[in-house]
Amino acid sequence: MELYDIRVVVDRIEGRSVCGMKPGDCLTVTESSRLRTEGHFCLYALQAVLPLIPAKQRDLAPGDWMEQDQFVACPDPDERLIMRIERGTKRAMRSADLT
């Protein structure tokens, strides 16, 4: 099977930054499940984006909404923090090596 590496970047903050995140802060998911953060990444912003990562790691049908959408909002209404999901390198992986 093949999975994309994923990068989630703080694209913009349309409200006030309460949690300390700033545009450019990011996290990277590689090799299916390895998570690395660059800068600060709020737990609540993380919980908003985590359910979408497994879908974005895979090839999707051209008309699938997940193939077209890339933005996710943090659930804090005062911050209006917008994150962008980017696909990176596509890696060949053996499903037997994964859980």
Residue 32: band (very low, low, confident or very high) from pLDDT cuts 50, 70, 90: confident
Structural domain contains residue 12: yes
Q: How many domains does the chain have?
A: 1
pLDDT of amino acid 10 = 95
Residue 9 lies in a domain: yes
Strands, E assignment, the chain: 2-13, 26-30, 34-38, 71-73, 81-92
Residues 41-85 pLDDT 10s = 889 999 999 999 999 999 988 888 888 899 999 998 888 999 999
Is 65 inside a domain boundary? yes
For residue 73, the enclosing domain spans 2-93
Mean of per-residue pLDDT scores for the chain: 90
Residue 99 inside a domain? The answer is no
Contact 98, 32 (CB under 8 A): yes
pLDDT of residue 99: 64
Say what the pTM is: 0.89
